Amino acid sequence: MAVHPALDATRTSGHGAVGPPLAPRLVPTGVHVLGWAGAAGVLGLWWANTTSVVGAAGWFTGAGRITGLLAGYVCAVVVVLMARVPWLDRTVGSDRLARWHAAGGRYAISLVLAHTLLIIWGYALTGHAGPVDETVGLVLHYPEMLGATAAWFLFLLTAVVSARAARRRLSYETWQFLHLATYAAIYLAFGHQLADGADFVGNRTAQALWYAMYLSAAGLVVWFRFLAPVRSARRHRLTVAQVRREGPDVVSVHLTGDRLDELAALPGQFFRWRFLARGLWWTASPYSLSAPPHPRSLRITVKALGSHSAALTRLAPGTRVWAEGPYGALTARNTRADRTLLLAGGIGITPLRALFETLPGDLILIYWARTPADLVLRGELDAIAAARGARVYYSVDEPDGHALPLTAPCLTALVPDLGRRDVYLCGPPGMTRAAGATLREAGVAPRRIHQESFAL
């Protein structure tokens, strides 16, 4: 059948509408206000240290100073967005943080390039020199400029590997490794800002504020990306208990540990897992919980899409595991109504399977996969649907003619009250983009559509 209804839907009793707390909804706005206030403060620093702007040389040099200050500020903001602060991740959401991080990176690169060109041009006009001679003079004779030049090339490398065409050709592990070049670039550029920036030379207050901003950003990275995972590993002592095959190239990894309830993980969230096995220990990859967390056990379900995920099929019981998190806002805290639709594509079923078991109210799940064998965890989904009186529909591409169209008429035919439901969405990027557009066409308000990317 193109669509397989496991059971007719019935309203699950005992649960009322659940609305998200007010504070998490205000956090994104507060972060934006804080970010723009910081940018205004940076512009104020330039204004306070600029008496007048005269001639083309003055305009180019002034613009170069402004773009340099803003570039330094945005770099610090990007570092904070890369720090994986759990509170920020849970309230803002990983996909929104990923978008902010990507946008901040593009702004930073653009500002760095603009700063370089404007300063060279302004100084060349002031000194009546050619751009090439001025560039050589700046690099060789100004303090900290050799490091700044190295940082410029690292920023350029980061921009190249971050381009969409290049990103698609890189594995997740390589992408993460190359992205760490951003830290080196920011470190190398920092000394140049204080040594050569006209707004910092002799201005101890500005220097102190700049140091405080960068040290705070660095402290967040060191704590949340390095020290906190070590502390968590020592406290919870996670190990692999079992690896179970669920389908073609798909396994569930069962983990046990101590005091796992202290992690305060919620269904729908994910961790960044570092398996202390040969070839795996050096990278932490994001995988969602595929079952509600238990005080003594956790479970993830992984499809072999790269070298890291493929290696998980060979994990031996007893392998030690470090887990960073939990992360993500794809949880019951987002629900505004007592009825929910879950849309899953492929291995995107993993966080939705945990939510299917635990979300309150009336539930419908629609699950797209390539073949019947790719319908991962189908037995569990059918059992959950039967236990709570929910509906689950399955759609496969093969054999031909057995696919459920991802269109507004089809969804509204299956779910007549679609516009009054919260919708949780997880799957491949193409599927989630198409589903988001379809849901909006069907009249679902954007605030009711919940999805998440784990790219940050």
* Residue-range domain boundaries for the chain: 22-231, 238-327, 335-451
Instruction: Note the pLDDT of residue 401.
Output: 62
What's the rounded mean pLDDT across residues 279-288? 84
Give the CATH fold of the 335-451 domain. Answer: Rossmann fold (3.40.50)
Between 304 and 74, residue with greater pLDDT: 74
- pLDDT-derived band at 18, boundaries 50, 70, 90: very low
Instruction: Note the pLDDT of residue 173.
Output: 62
Report CA Rg, the chain. Answer: 26
Beta strand 270-275 with 285-288 is antiparallel
Q: What is the pTM of this model?
A: 0.77
Q: What is the DSSP letter of 415?
A: -
Name residue 186's amino acid.
Answer: I
Q: What is the DSSP string of 285-316?
A: EEEEBSS--BTTEEEEEEE--SHHHHHGGGPP
What's the rounded mean pLDDT across residues 395-399? 85
Between 168 and 55, residue with greater pLDDT: 55
Beta strand 320-327 with 270-275 is antiparallel
For 258, the token pair is 């101590």
In terms of C-beta density within 10 A (0-12 exposed, 13-18 middle, 19 or more buried), how is residue 57 classed?
Answer: middle
pLDDT of residue 333 exceeding 80, the answer is yes
Instruction: Note the pLDDT of residue 16.
Output: 36
- pLDDT-derived band at 353, boundaries 50, 70, 90: very high
pLDDT in tens, 192-208: 898 888 888 888 999 99
Instruction: Note the pLDDT of residue 205.
Output: 92
CATH architecture of 238-327: Beta Barrel (2.40)
Of 3.30.70, 1.20.120, 1.20.140, 1.10.155, the CATH number of 22-231 is 1.20.120
- The whole-angstrom separation of Cα 140 and Cα 150 is 13
Tell me the percentage of the chain whose pLDDT exceeds 90.
Answer: 48
Compute the mean pLDDT over every residue in the chain, rounded to the nearest whole number.
Answer: 86
For 398, the token pair is 């093969």
Instruction: Note the pLDDT of residue 236.
Output: 94
Residue keyed to tokens 């790219």: 455
Beta bridge partners of residue 307, listed in sequence order: none
- Cα separation values, 251 from 243, 315, 319, 350, Å: 6, 10, 16, 11
Q: What is the distance of C-alpha 92 from the center of its chain?
A: 10
- The whole-angstrom separation of Cα 35 and Cα 172 is 29
Q: In what order do the strands lie in the sheet with 250-256?
A: 285-288, 270-275, 320-327, 238-247, 250-256, 297-303
Instruction: Note the pLDDT of residue 325.
Output: 87
Q: What is the DSSP letter of 425?
A: E
- The whole-angstrom separation of Cα 185 and Cα 190 is 9
CA nearest to 228, candidates 103, 85, 352, 351 = 85
CA angle 403, 310, 260 (to 5 degrees): 95
- Cα separation values, 19 from 269, 270, 337, Å: 18, 22, 7
Instruction: Note the pLDDT of residue 438.
Output: 92
What's the rounded mean pLDDT across residues 294-305? 92
Beta bridge partners of residue 395, listed in sequence order: 368
Instruction: Note the pLDDT of residue 301.
Output: 95
Lowest mean pLDDT across 10-24, 38-52, 306-320: 10-24
For 347, the token pair is 């291995």
- pLDDT-derived band at 388, boundaries 50, 70, 90: very high
User: Interhelix angle for 145-162 vs 131-141, to 10°?
Assistant: 110
What's the rounded mean pLDDT across residues 173-198? 81
Instruction: Note the pLDDT of residue 456.
Output: 44
Task: Count the neighbouring beta carbons within 10 Å of the beta carbon of residue 173.
Answer: 16
pLDDT of residue 26 exceeding 60, the answer is yes
pLDDT of residue 3 exceeding 70, the answer is no
CA angle 339, 340, 344 (to 5 degrees): 165
pLDDT of residue 238 exceeding 60, the answer is yes
Instruction: Note the pLDDT of residue 267.
Output: 95
